[in-house]
Chain A
Amino acid sequence: MRWKWLVYHVFVVAFAFIMMYPLIWLVMSSFKESSQIFITAKSLIPETFTFQNYVQGWQGIGGHTFATFIGNSLFVVILSTIGAVFASALIAFGFGRLKFAGKAIWFAIMMGSIMLPTDVVLIPQYIIFAKLGWLNSFTPIILPHFFGFPFFIFLMVQFIRTLPIELDEAATIDGCGKFKLFYRIILPLIAPAMATAAIFSFYWRWEELLGPVLYLNSPGKYTVSMALKMFLDAETSSNWGAMFAMSAFTLLPVIAVFFMFQKYIVEGISTSGLKG
């Protein structure tokens, strides 16, 4: 048994290293001198370690330090994640557990709405948001998430459908209304799916470029993903060092969130003893 354990861990670690290599390369490059990054791209270890990239990178652009950009990103990401996860759970319960007229049609509409490439709805949507006076504000980036996010809705529907229907029946006999059934019984049981959705949402919103690029005009409102691009300029010279350093640094919140939420992806109903 012991050697099996060892083989498992050696295999996992070795495999993890291969998967991680590009990330390690990114972090290592962030300690290289900016001008050396491309010249020494093939070697992992910097000839001289420098923290200058982090110092310079943190200064940001045009008088806005990275604290501003990180603050903006956190504001956008946290609000839209909360909105997307809870609204999606609510909607998913409706689709996954309830019967009502027109359900199939609405489900098809929901799936259909994510099949249309965004490029072509972007302009009409932009004009609507412009008419509402929402340009150069966070509203058009955050607000839509409070109306559910199809990917998460579908995800949670699928999870709800793996839950035994006996649960509902037992709850109904106990006199639970639908809403009570939802938040007393279903919501705790789909915690793994919600944690998964929260991780995705956090990361997707964190790296999202299109929304911020379209709707945020003042650099003081820019998010991290936009700010990172501003270090680069194909025409003249770019500050690659600062870009790498801040890319690496701004991964930390995402990793932290992942680490925090992944532990909710644990045994679901099997341990709750409801199966019996």
Chain B
Amino acid sequence: MVDPAATQQFFDLWRKQFEEGAATWARMVSQAPPPSAPAMDPVAFWRPVLNSGLEQWARMFATTPVSPDLMQQWKQFLDQWVEAWSRALGTVMGTEQFAQMMGTSLDQWLTTVAPMKKAAQQSVDTALETLNMASRTQLTSVARQIVELEDRIERVEDGISAILKKLDELARSAVTAR
């Protein structure tokens, strides 16, 4: 028979743990941690209980013919299954028919997108013009001009560098000639 005193003791312990756990959770929820504090780990509180439970489960499972190698085998099976699917899909996607189908779908999509994009662009431009604001097209145009300006400045810099280099060479040859 099960000892009633031992059972009571067990239930008291369980109730105490539950109450402490609930209080901790309540504290966690009500008090937001300071921004610099690391994130709380709710598993950490239950770790001793969890470990004790896991130990018991481990002992139970250890008496069965099932071993943890089963997990490894399951992972290998999943990997092989995914690889087989990958190969099968690769074979299908590597056909001329698939490429043709993709090209046709893309064409159809572009046929839909082009007029929509143009209409949206026009309506946004009109709205911004009404509000006396610069449109995306105008901003892009300004940005493009800045990029071109940067290019020109660099070309001028290159030209000046080349002239300075030549002058330097001339000065050196003049010194040598003297």
Chains A and B belong together in one complex: no
The interface of chain B, by Cβ under 8 A from chain A, is none
